[in-house]
Structure 1
Amino acid sequence: MTHVTSRDGTPIAYEQDGSGPAVILVGGGLDDGSENAPLVPELAGRFTVLNYARRGRGESGDTPPYSVHREIEDLDALITAAGGSASVFGASSGGALVLEAAAAGLPIDKVAVYEVPYMSDETAVVHWSEYVGGLTAALAENRRADALALFMRLAGSSEDDIAGARDSGFWPALLRLAPTLAYDAACLGDGRPPVVRLGAITRPVLVTTGGVPDPQMGGLRPGFFDEAADAISAALPDATRQIVAGQSHVADPKVFAKVLADFFA
């Protein structure tokens, strides 16, 4: 594991493989870089791939107070390490961070995002606000298990799913990552697509969703991610909208790597 130092002194851990134009992978909620790791060998034959743990996750450090601007600086440090420019892929809430970074003017060649969970109707925005309030209170009292349960309910998990997660071997790792749920919430702002900021992105953006609902997100309204993706695409000056057939919220790396490679190339 290699580290780069962000502007505020925070060490950001990443792994690098391959050769060719640089591609940086950005994970979403409750991810320390593991979710994107299978994409690395699939892309490394054509690209120099950097997969990192966002601040507060894995071997990366954390420096309070948190701000989205600091996460953008983390990505900027990685782009510098990659040679000064890179294409960037963001999954789920990591896609919101990537879009904010592109809007901020980072030297990004192309952007790709997958199933960014913006809210496309006012009912969902109200639920999002309630979630953020509950999450803030739970984390302030260090009730990490409650914070995780709130997140899972928001994402459409059933109570049985939550109970099964609590009894699973990966629950302790999720508890360690629970404070970073606040970071993902900050990246998504009030939950609505930031239309004005998206309009400032001049680089090409690939906006993707899967064609199959995730079985762990059965409580989400049908079409949730597609509606968000359509709203993102409509706000961007240079967007390509694509549905990746047969994929759910965590796409098959072999299938999705080809989608990314074709776009980034």
Structure 2
Amino acid sequence: MTVRFAISSSDGTKLAYERFGDGPPVVLTGGALTNRTAAVPLARELAGLGLSGVVYDRRGRGDSGDTEPYAPVREADDLAAVAEAVREEAGAEQVFSFGMSSGGLVVLEAAARGAALSRIVLFEPPFTGAAGQFQDPVRVARLTELISQGERSEAVAYFMAEIIGLPPQAVEGARQSPGWADMTKIAHTLGYDTTLLGDATLPAETLAAVRIPALVLSSDASTPVLQEAARATGEALPSGTHRSLPGVFHQVPPEDLAPVVRDFFTG
């Protein structure tokens, strides 16, 4: 597909996106340390099931632009702009959205603010405060310091170890992976994700404002804290449900995930 720069968010930020398939659009919003390429496998699976998967670079990532200062409402406006653009492009009556991890926080914010989305699916939104694991402001401040000093590699490692809580061997494995360079390029956006999350408690006002049907998914191999966060989010949404799927830590294979997403959006 062709990368598109024809759309801009409400603050003028250029947004790059690609669309796979010709069915009703599903806008896929990625999580921390990813650009739109991470969602391409799921987009292709959805396209094969009669939908169209739309991947886009969140602001500050990949081929999209950025505008300071950062604010969650600006990310919500970005998603709304992409949804409206693909609605017109596809001549679609409905547009859906899937949010991965912190991308789910963007989807929730957009839906609460009235973005033209018919249904949403969230995969493990990290409201770990629902399970008693709150985001530590001291650690967030240290992450912010590393980013401001240009210590991109150390910021990514710190985020993985101290914010996510990955063991040292997992962080070292990530350092040695081919994707490490790409992650360090967008290390500055980690501050966006921590801002979106706040103290990691459930945002009652935002959740209450989401009136459309919502499905919250989790992997049965994720940590108990992430699984509880997903369950609690599903229960807190006015029209929400929660479902656990077989998978690995913080992930379900696209070929297994896509049919569940398709069935919810088209059911």
What is the TM-score with the length of structure 1 in the denominator? 0.91
Match for 2:165: what amino acid?
Answer: G
1:156: how far off?
2.5
CA-to-partner distance for each residue in 1:13-33, whole Å, 9 max, x for gaps? 110121222210000000001
Of the candidates 71, 74, 78, which is equivalent to residue 74 of structure 1?
Answer: 78
Of the candidates 133, 148, 157, which is equivalent to residue 149 of structure 1?
Answer: 157
Match for 1:9: what amino acid?
Answer: G
1:79: how far off?
1.2
The whole-number CA distance in structure 2 between the counterparts of 1:100 and 1:106 is 9
The answer to whether the aligner puts 1:199 opposite 2:208 as a matched pair is: yes
Kindly indicate whether the alpha-carbon contact (under 8 Å) linking 1:195 and 1:232 is maintained by their aligned counterparts in 2: no
SS at match of 1:113: strand
1:246: how far off?
3.3
Number of residue pairs the alignment of both structures matches: 256
- Alignment map for 1:1-265 (pairs within 5 Å): 1-3=3-5, 4-45=7-48, 46-83=50-87, 85-120=94-129, 124-125=133-134, 127-153=135-161, 154-213=163-222, 222-265=223-266
Quickly say closer, same or farther: Cα 1:123–1:239, change in 2 above 3 A: closer
1:122: how far off?
7.9
Quickly say closer, same or farther: Cα 1:142–1:41, change in 2 above 3 A: same
Show structure 2 runs of 5+ residues with no match: 89-93
SS at match of 2:128: coil
Kindly indicate whether the alpha-carbon contact (under 8 Å) linking 1:128 and 1:191 is maintained by their aligned counterparts in 2: no
Kindly indicate whether the alpha-carbon contact (under 8 Å) linking 2:129 and 2:199 is maintained by their aligned counterparts in 1: no
SS at match of 2:185: helix
1:234: how far off?
2.2
The whole-number CA distance in structure 1 between the counterparts of 2:174 and 2:249 is 19
Kindly indicate whether the alpha-carbon contact (under 8 Å) linking 1:111 and 1:205 is maintained by their aligned counterparts in 2: yes
The whole-number CA distance in structure 2 between the counterparts of 1:211 and 1:122 is 16
The whole-number CA distance in structure 1 between the counterparts of 2:195 and 2:125 is 14
The whole-number CA distance in structure 2 between the counterparts of 1:113 and 1:121 is 16
Kindly indicate whether the alpha-carbon contact (under 8 Å) linking 1:120 and 1:231 is maintained by their aligned counterparts in 2: no
The whole-number CA distance in structure 1 between the counterparts of 2:241 and 2:133 is 25
Match for 2:36: what amino acid?
Answer: G
The structure that is strand-richer by fraction is 1
Show structure 1 runs of 5+ residues with no match: 214-221
Kindly indicate whether the alpha-carbon contact (under 8 Å) linking 2:30 and 2:101 is maintained by their aligned counterparts in 1: yes
SS at match of 1:5: coil
Which residue pairs with 2:91 in the alignment? none
- Report the identity percentage: 38
Match for 1:156: what amino acid?
Answer: G
What is the TM-score with the length of structure 2 in the denominator? 0.90
The whole-number CA distance in structure 2 between the counterparts of 1:8 and 1:210 is 36
1:56: how far off?
0.8
1:176: how far off?
0.3
